[in-house]
């Protein structure tokens, strides 16, 4: 069974200049839940002056339906973000550090080592407060400023976060620099380093058109947890030529056509993507929302 983490409400919207209200964000999240999505990155506890689209995190969390079968995640990049998150009902913390010094400095104003030290402390304190954490390693497949990122450095950062108590690692292709062979190599290295039972997720952007190919490569290498965003919306404010995430409905459609169950209704995800396109008042990059399913896809 594929586990989709729907990141549209956070990673999808954060780079958009058109304001999206808390009510609209909650409506988007509710549509994902109605489609069968069980894990949603709903909010971001970052500086609202830097990312104004995410300034209403507390209001969104307050408005969300309380569901025992749905996990709501919130992005945390700092100690102050942790304090804000712990004051809400968010279930899971998504903590992020880039594995490239240049990118991490632009994104979080600190080196990789400084970021790892601070985020490790955040993970430990979150665990004390009984809030689990997933550690996301940005630029795991390459950096737009530095080029190739040392694979062993990526593993060392993952090790620090696992030692601090992170329950899962997500390798993120923040600017779309991965390819299927690289994905296979990184997944194999992760398993060799930490064993096959250490939870691993993958996060791809479609900057160079390889998003779905990279998802398929990750699945072939044994990964079943993938991040994606409704409509393919998204992009990092600190990434040059940022392009959206791989589209959730495209990922679900691909797996269902392959006979791999997802537990998510693809038509409802398409409907959500069309709704979001109307909200954003622009064409979104998702493909299945335009062409429709290849065949009538249903879940068993």
User: Could you tell me the CA-to-CA distances from 195 to 69, 171, 181, 190, 214 in Å, in that order?
Assistant: 28, 16, 20, 7, 21
Which long-range contacts does 60-63 make (Cβ < 8 Å, 24+ apart)?
60/9, 60/22, 60/25, 60/26, 60/29, 61/88, 61/89, 61/90, 62/88, 63/22, 63/23, 63/26
Is 143 catalytic? The answer is no
Cβ contacts of 2 within 8 Å, gap of 6 or more: 219, 224, 225, 226, 251, 252, 255, 260, 261, 262, 263
User: Could you tell me the CA-to-CA distances from 212 to 17, 204, 209 in Å, in that order?
Assistant: 26, 8, 8
Out of 138, 236, 266, 279, which one is annotated catalytic? 236
Burial class (CB in 10 A: 0-12, 13-18, 19+), 294: exposed
What residues are labeled active site?
A: 236
């Amino acid at each position: 069974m594929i586990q989709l983490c729907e990141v549209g409400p956070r990673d999808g919207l954060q780079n958009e200049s058109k304001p999206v209200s808390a009510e609209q964000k909650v409506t988007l999240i509710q549509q994902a839940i109605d489609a069968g999505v069980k894990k949603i990155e709903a909010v971001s506890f970052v500086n609202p002056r830097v990312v104004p689209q995410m300034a209403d995190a507390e209001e969104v969390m307050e408005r969300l339906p309380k569901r025992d079968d749905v996990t709501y995640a919130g992005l945390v990049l700092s100690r102050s973000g942790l304090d804000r998150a712990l004051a809400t009902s968010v279930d899971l913390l998504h903590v992020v550090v880039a594995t490239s010094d240049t990118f991490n400095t632009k994104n979080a104003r600190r080196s990789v080592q400084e970021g790892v030290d601070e985020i490790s402390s955040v993970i430990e304190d979150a665990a004390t407060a009984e809030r689990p954490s997933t550690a996301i390693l940005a630029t795991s497949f390459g950096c737009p400023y530095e080029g190739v990122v040392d694979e062993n450095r990526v593993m060392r950062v993952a090790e620090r976060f696992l030692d601090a108590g992170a329950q899962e690692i997500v390798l993120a292709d923040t600017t779309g620099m991965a390819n299927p062979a690289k994905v296979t190599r990184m997944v194999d290295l992760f398993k060799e380093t930490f064993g096959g039972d250490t939870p691993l997720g993958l996060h791809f952007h479609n900057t160079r058109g390889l998003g779905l190919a990279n998802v398929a490569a990750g699945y072939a290498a044994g990964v079943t947890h993938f991040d994606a965003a409704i409509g393919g919306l998204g992009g990092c404010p600190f990434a040059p030529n940022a392009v959206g995430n791989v589209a959730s409905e495209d990922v679900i459609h691909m797996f269902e056509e392959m006979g791999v169950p997802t537990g998510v209704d693809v038509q409802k995800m398409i409907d959500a993507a069309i709704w979001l396109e109307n909200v954003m008042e622009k064409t979104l990059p998702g493909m299945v929302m335009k062409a429709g399913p290849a065949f009538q896809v249903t879940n068993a």
